[in-house]
Structure formats: structure tokens, C-alpha cells
Amino acid sequence: MAFEDLDLMEKAERIRDKALELLYAEAMSGHGVDEQFRRLAGIPAKLRPFTRLPNPEHFNGPIEQLEMVAKTLSTGSSGYMANPWLNLSDVGNDIASWNGPAARAFRTNFVAPFPAIAHNQFLLVCALKSALEAEKALWEAARKDIASITSAAYRALERMDASDDMSVEYFLKVVAAAAALSAIPFAGGLAVMRVAAIGASAQFGGVIASRIPPKTDRIRGANVLEFVESLERAIFFATDAIIETEDRIRTTVTELHKEVLRHVAKPSMGRNWFCARRPALADSSKQTIRRDMGYTE
């Protein structure tokens, strides 16, 4: 079976076996040889954690669900068609003859802010969807990166007998995975906030990620042991790149969450940035409904 068709642990074992074979061929002797063999034998253990990476396909379901929610909340922006059921233009005509404090409260607290509230909810859904897409891209890239490292290492070991070229290039594309965050549609801030801070915090991660090219490095060594040490460094760099990218996603979403909470917590407006106030008539009874609506006997 071709090396590329093996699963990760089979690749790790193949690399270990090839490295041990070459080490024997080098007829190394003297103090420390046993330790060198033990180090090569531990190659599979170095790669085993990568067999437990999250499956990118597991993000598809939540992403598709958020896509449906975004379409439902869309007022016709960011590439989504407007949901006609969000149009409240006819409501004004329907309640034109309704007067009194309940009528004024309904127009002020529900009808007037409804388009902005729906749009803000739409933006938050799109932000969450973009974050999940960044996570999916992260784990897709991580799997490809470790496959690239193992394939490059094995190719170099295979040709070691016939060539002195013990150097091979590999790429770490995972660092650019967070570019999906740039899709968060917060360019002008939330519709009713009149601030740009939330847009800046949401887009920061995506802008930075989109400017970071894939990292490149080489696995190299004058002998098998040096080559394996270089391979171990490549594995460490791959791990570090995953942590760095995950931290970028986490930081972006955390800052966005903090900004949202600051506006939700405003005492003068309560939760009105994202949720309509509870109608006063919701607590009315059959005995009080006419009075609560503003009618007088």
C-alpha cells in the first residue's frame, strides 16, 4: 500500500522502521547507542496525539443550522435574500386606530426597533457561524499539515541510501485557517449601537489571519538521528501552530462576546440591542386587557 494511503499511526510506524533500518546500516557504536534506538522507537508516540484531532465534518451540522437561522433573520444584507416575514410595514396600518399607553409602548418598544434588533441577531448568528467555519478550517489544515510532515519525512528517509540530501521542505497551512473570521459581517457595528468597536474586535482576527502566509520549514540532518530530531521539531511546530490558531479564534470570539455583553448590560435599554422588550399586555388578564390597552369604559 502506498505511504499516502496509510493512516497516521501506520505512517508513524513506517517512519520508525525506516529510521531504525538506516540507523543499523550506519553501524553506529559506542556510548549512547541504546538511547538513540529508544528515541527512534518513540516516533509513533510523538504522532499519536494527532490521531485524536477533531473531525472537521462534525462542524457541518451546526454550520448548516446557523446558515438556516441567518436566512430566517436576514433583512437583505451580506449576500442573503431578505425574509419578507420580517417586514412590519403593514403593522402600522393594522394598528393605526389603536390609541392609548399600550399602543404607544407597542410602537415604541417593538415595531420601531424590530428591524434593528433582527439585524443585530442576524449579525451575531453570522459571527458564530464564521467562528465554527474557522474551527473547521483549523482542523482540516491541521490534518493536512501532519500528513505533509510525515510524507516529507518518509520520502527523505527512503532516498537516504542513494543520496546525501537529508533535507525536505514541509508547509504548515493551519496558521491561515482563522481567515474565516474575516467573514464576520460587523463592518459598521450593530445597527442600533452607532459604534464601531464591536466591528473592529470582530474583524481583527480575520484581518490578521488573512495576512499570514503558510509557514514553511525543512526537516534536515546529517544522519538519521539528527534527521529524527528535526522531525520532532517539525511536530512541535505543528502543535504550536494549532495552539496559536486556536488562540486567535478564541480571542476574537471572546472579545466579540465581551462587546456584546457591554451593550446588553446597559441599564437604560436592558436587552433591547438584541431582544424586544416583553409586551406589557403579555401579563394582562381577561379582566384587565381593555384597561391595559388604554380603553376606558
Question: H or E element: which one contains 131?
Answer: helix 114-158
For the chain, what percent of residues have pLDDT higher than 90? 7
User: Is residue 251 in some structural domain?
Assistant: yes
pLDDT, mean of residues 90-119:
77
158 vs 15: CA distance, rounded Å = 9
168 beta partners: 219
pLDDT tens-digit profile of 254-273? 888 887 777 776 655 555 67
| 107: DSSP letter | I
Residues near 4 by Cβ (< 8 Å), separated by ≥ 6? 147, 151
Residues near 167 by Cβ (< 8 Å), separated by ≥ 6? 156, 218, 219, 220
Of 166-175, 207-216, 219-228, the range with the lowest mean pLDDT is 207-216
The residue that leads in pLDDT, 102 or 156, is 156
Tell which residue, 52, 63, 61, 67, has the closest CA to residue 131. Answer: 63
pLDDT of residue 184: 53
User: Is residue 289 in some structural domain?
Assistant: no
| 1: DSSP letter | -
Tell which residue, 297, 296, 291, has the closest CA to residue 102. Answer: 291
User: Is residue 97 in some structural domain?
Assistant: yes
| 277: DSSP letter | P
User: Is residue 188 in some structural domain?
Assistant: yes
User: Is residue 293 in some structural domain?
Assistant: no
4 vs 75: CA distance, rounded Å = 47
Helix axes 8-25, 224-264, angle to 10 degrees: 150
User: Is residue 258 in some structural domain?
Assistant: yes
User: Is residue 166 in some structural domain?
Assistant: yes
160: its cell numbers: 537516504
pLDDT tens-digit profile of 31-68? 456 667 777 888 888 889 888 999 999 999 999 999 99
pLDDT tens-digit profile of 69-102? 999 998 886 678 888 888 777 776 667 777 777 7
pLDDT of residue 165: 55
pLDDT of residue 284: 81
pLDDT of residue 212: 54
Domain count, the chain: 1
pLDDT at 163 over 60: no
User: Is residue 129 in some structural domain?
Assistant: yes
pLDDT, mean of residues 200-214:
43
Highest mean pLDDT pick, 168-172, 263-267, 284-288: 284-288
**What mean pLDDT is reported for the chain?**
75
The residue that leads in pLDDT, 173 or 81, is 81
pLDDT at 211 over 60: no
Chain centre to alpha carbon of residue 56: 11
Instruction: Write out the residue range of the structural domain in which residue 35 sits.
Output: 3-280
Tell which residue, 205, 54, 215, 206, has the closest CA to residue 140. Answer: 54
The phi and psi torsions of 266 (rounded to 5 degrees) equal -60, 120
